[in-house]
Structure 1
Amino acid sequence: MDSTQLALLGLLVGALIGATAVGLVVFALRSRDQTRRVTSVEIPDGTDSVLQGMDDAAVVVDASMLVLSSSAAAEVFSLHVGQTLGSDTLKSLVRGVRASGLAATENMQLNRGVEPRLVAARASVITPRLTLIVIRDITERERVEQMRRDFVANTSHELKTPVGAVTLLAEAIDSAADDPDQVRHFASRLTAEAGRLGQLTSRIMNLSRLQSADDIAEMRNVSVDEVVTAAIESQGITAEASDITIARGGDRGLFVRGDPQILIEAISNLLANAVAYSPAGAQVGVGVREGDGTVEIAIADHGIGIHEDDQQRIFERFYRADQARSRRTGGTGLGLSIVKHAVQRHGGSVELWSRPGRGSTFTIRLPIVHAPESHSEPKRKPKKSMKSAARVSAKRGAL
C-alpha cells in the first residue's frame, strides 16, 4: 500500500471517528433535552397570556399538584398560584389524565367561596410534568335544564287529570243518554273540567310568554288605580259568593310603566288566592302606597296562612302548599309563578309575609313613574273610616 492510499485511509478513519463523535454529541444533547423536557416545570411561552384571556377558570399544575399559572377566574374557586389543588376530585382527575395521556372531562362539585357549584372540569397534558385544567361553572345551565324537565313533566301530569276527566265524562254522558237528569249532571261536570283545562292551558301559555326573552310589547304609563280596580272587579263575584269583602285603601293617583293586562292578571291572581284561602265573612285588603321610588301594592288576608317551610317554594311552578284544598278550589299551581315573573318583567319584586292561622300579605313593588299631565291631580289619602290594607300589612312587617 503506497503513501497515497495510506493517507486516504487515514482521512477515512478520521472522518468515521469524527462522525461517530458528532453522533455521540448529538445523541447526548438530545438525551439532555429529553431529560429536561421530562423533568422541566417551565411553563411554555405564551401560556400565561392565554390563561389571562380565558373567561373560564383555568390553571396549570405540576406533578405535585402545585398551581404554576392561573386565569383570573380561577381565584373564585380558591385556585391560587403557589398553592396546591385542594380538591381531591380534581387531583384524581389529573392523576388519571397523566396516567393515560388522554384528555378527560368530569362533572364535579367545587366550592366558590363557601357556595358549592356544579362544574365541568377538563384536564389535558401539555408536557410530561405539566397539566392544564379548565373549569366551567355549569350550575345555572343545569338548573335551567332541570327546570325545563320539571316543567314538561309537571305540565304533562297536570294536563292528564282534566283530559282524563273529560274523556270519562263524555263516555258517561253517552251511557246515560236515556236519563236527562244524569246527562245534565255529567254535562255540568264536563263543562267545569273543560273550563279547568282551558284555564290551565291559558296559564301555561302566559307563563311561557313571561319567561321568554322577548320584551313586553304593550309598555306604557299605567294607572295603578285602574289596575287595582279591574283586579278587584274580576274577583267580585267569587268574593261575594264566598261572603268575603274586598277593601281598597291607600294612596291614589300613582303610575307605573308596564302592560296593564299583565299587571291586572298578577294582582287578580293574588286576590283569587286571598279569597280562596279566607274563611267566610272575612275581609281581604288591597293597600297602595308610594315608597322610595316605588309603588307598593299589598294584598292582605286573614286566612289559613302559609307554613314557613312552604314559603321558600310558594312561587315555584305547579307548587301547592295545600294540595287537596288547591285542587278543590280549582287551583293550577301556576298563579304565584305568573305573579313573580310578571312583576320581574316590570323591574319589580314580590315579597311574602305569612303566619299559619293569622293570614298572608303579598307585597308587589314596582318602579314609580311620573303621572301624565292629564292625570296630574294630587293624590288622595283614604278616608279615616276606611280600613287601609297597607296599614294592616305594615303592622305585620310585610311592608
Structure 2
Amino acid sequence: MSSPQFALFALAIGAIIGAGTVLLVVWAYRIRMLAAHETSTSVPAGVTEVLHGMDDPACVLDPSGLVVATSNAAARFGIRSGAVLDNADLRRLVRAVRGEGGSATETLRLTAGGMLDPRLVSARASRIGPQLTLLIIRDVTERERLEQMRTDFVANTSHELKTPVASVSLLAEAIESASDDPEQVRVFAARIAAEAGRLGQLTGRILSLSRLQAAESLAQIEPVSIDEVVASSVEAHLVQADSGGVTLARGGDRGAWVRGDAQVLIEAVGNLIANAIVYSPKGSSVGIGVKIDGDVVEIAVADQGIGIAEADAERIFERFYRADEARSRRTGGTGLGLSIVKHATQRHGGEVRLWSRPGQGSTFTIRLPRIEAPSVGKKGAKKKAKKKRSDKKSATAVGARNGETA
C-alpha cells in the first residue's frame, strides 16, 4: 500500500472513530439528562409563575407527598410549601394519578385549614412529570348553595301558590252548593276575595324578589331622600296600623340622602313596618327611626311584639321562612317580605341587622351608604322649601294621629 493510500485509510478510520466517539458522548449525555428528568423533583420553568397567577388553591407535590410549590390561595386549605399534604382524601387522589397516569377529578368535602364549616370542593390531580403531580382545588360551596336555593325556591313557590289556588277552587264549589243561601254565598265570596288578594300579593312579591336577584343593577339609580322613603312607607301602612290598633311613631335624624332606587327602598321599609304591625299586640307602638352615623344612614323599625327566637333569627331572611307559621297563615303573610328587604338592602350596598328578644320585641335596622344632599338651583331650592313645609304639615298630622316622637 502506497503512502497516499495509507494516509487516506488512516484518515477514514480516524473519522469513523471520531464520529463514533461523538455519538457515544451525545448518547451518554441524553441518557444522563433522561435519568435526571426521571428522578428530578424540581418544578419545571414557568409552573411557579402560573401558580402565583391562579385564584384557585393549587400545589405541586413530589412522590413523597411533599408540597414543593403552591398558589397564593392554597393557604386557605392549610397547604404550604415544604409541608406534607394533610388531607387523606387528597393524598389518595394524588397517589391514584401517580400510579395510573393521566388525571382524575373528585368532589370532596374539606375541613382543613382551621375552617369550621366543611367546604365542598372539586379536586383535580394531573401528572406534570415523572415525579411531580399538580393538584388544583376549586371551591364549589357557593355554587352548590345557589343551586340548592334555586331548587328550594321552585319547590316552595309551587307549594305556596298551590294553597290559595286550592282554597279558591274549594270555595267556588262551596258557593255552587250553597247557591240557594245568599248569606253563605256572601261569606264564601268574601273568603274567595281574601284568597285572591293573598295570591296576588304572593305573586307580586315573587316577581319583586326575582327582579332584585336577576337584574345586574338597579333599574333607576339617583339621589334618594330618606325622609321621603320613610314618609311614603308610613303613609302606606296607616290603614293597616289603625285596623290592628297599633300606633306608628316616626323620629330620628332628618335630611339624610342615599343613592339608589326610591321605590325599592320604600318597599323594603314598608315590608318591615307591615311585619312589625302584624306581630305587635293591640295598643302597642311601632317606631320608625333614622340615624345618621358618619357615612352610614340607619333606618330602624322597632316593635313591642312577640320577638324572634335565636334559632329562628338565623333563618328569618330566607325565602318563605316563617318564625310563627300559624300566625303568618292567619294574617296572610307570604314569607317573602324579609327576603326582599335583605336583597334590596344589599343591592344598595348596605346590610340589614336584627335585634330581638322573645317577649320583648324586635328591631330591624337597614344600614345604607350615605351621600351628601344633592345641590339645587334657586328655583329648585324654593320648590324644595315649599315641599318641605308641605311634608312638615303632613308629618304633624300623622304624628298627632299616631303619637310621633320628635
Pair 1:339–1:35, CA change in 2 (3 A): same
What amino acid is the match of 1:66?
A: L
Pair 1:242–1:18, CA change in 2 (3 A): same
Cα separation, 1, equivalents of 2:295 and 2:18 = 91
Alignment RMSD (CA, Å):
3.4
Q: How many residue pairs end up in the alignment?
A: 379
Whether contact under 8 Å (1:286, 1:299) holds in the other structure is: yes
* 1:346-380 C-alpha deviation (Å, 9 max, x unpaired): 22222111111111111222233333442477999
Matched residue of 2:110: which SS? Answer: strand
Give the structure 2 partner of residue 63 of structure 1.
63
Cα separation, 2, equivalents of 1:40 and 1:346 = 55
Whether contact under 8 Å (2:248, 2:404) holds in the other structure is: no
* 1:183-210 C-alpha deviation (Å, 9 max, x unpaired): 2222211111111111111001101111
Cα separation, 1, equivalents of 2:66 and 2:405 = 62
Whether contact under 8 Å (2:258, 2:370) holds in the other structure is: yes
Question: Which of 309, 323, 340 in structure 2 is aligned with 1:307?
Answer: 309
Give the structure 1 partner of residue 91 of structure 2.
91
Pair 1:255–1:73, CA change in 2 (3 A): closer
Matched residue of 1:310: which SS? Answer: helix
What amino acid is the match of 1:326?
A: S
1:45 CA displacement: 3.2
Task: Give me the identity figure in percent.
Answer: 60
* 1:228-267 C-alpha deviation (Å, 9 max, x unpaired): 2221122111211121111112233333322222111111
What amino acid is the match of 1:41?
A: T
Pair 1:225–1:33, CA change in 2 (3 A): closer
1:18 CA displacement: 12
Cα separation, 2, equivalents of 1:284 and 1:355 = 16
Pair 1:293–1:63, CA change in 2 (3 A): same
Pair 1:46–1:215, CA change in 2 (3 A): closer
Whether contact under 8 Å (1:298, 1:389) holds in the other structure is: no
Give the structure 2 partner of residue 325 of structure 1.
327
Whether contact under 8 Å (1:250, 1:388) holds in the other structure is: no
Cα separation, 1, equivalents of 2:183 and 2:122 = 64
Pair 1:70–1:226, CA change in 2 (3 A): closer
1:19 CA displacement: 12
Cα separation, 2, equivalents of 1:26 and 1:366 = 73
What amino acid is the match of 1:131?
A: T
Cα separation, 2, equivalents of 1:316 and 1:121 = 30
Pair 1:304–1:66, CA change in 2 (3 A): same
Normalising by structure 2, report the TM-score: 0.82
Give the structure 1 partner of residue 237 of structure 2.
235
Cα separation, 2, equivalents of 1:294 and 1:21 = 82
Moved more, 195-204 or 217-226: 217-226
Whether contact under 8 Å (1:295, 1:368) holds in the other structure is: yes
Whether contact under 8 Å (2:61, 2:68) holds in the other structure is: yes
Cα separation, 1, equivalents of 2:359 and 2:345 = 27
Whether contact under 8 Å (1:286, 1:388) holds in the other structure is: no
What amino acid is the match of 1:205?
A: L
1:36 CA displacement: 4.4
Gaps of 5+ in 2: 1-16
Give the structure 2 partner of residue 156 of structure 1.
158
What amino acid is the match of 1:65?
A: G
1:69-148 correspondence to structure 2 within 5 Å:
69-111=69-111, 113-115=113-115, 116-148=118-150
Pair 1:26–1:343, CA change in 2 (3 A): closer
Matched residue of 1:127: which SS? Answer: coil
Cα separation, 2, equivalents of 1:350 and 1:147 = 20
Gaps of 5+ in 1: 1-16, 391-399
What amino acid is the match of 1:99?
A: G
Give the structure 2 partner of residue 218 of structure 1.
220
Moved more, 153-162 or 212-221: 212-221
Whether contact under 8 Å (2:301, 2:365) holds in the other structure is: yes
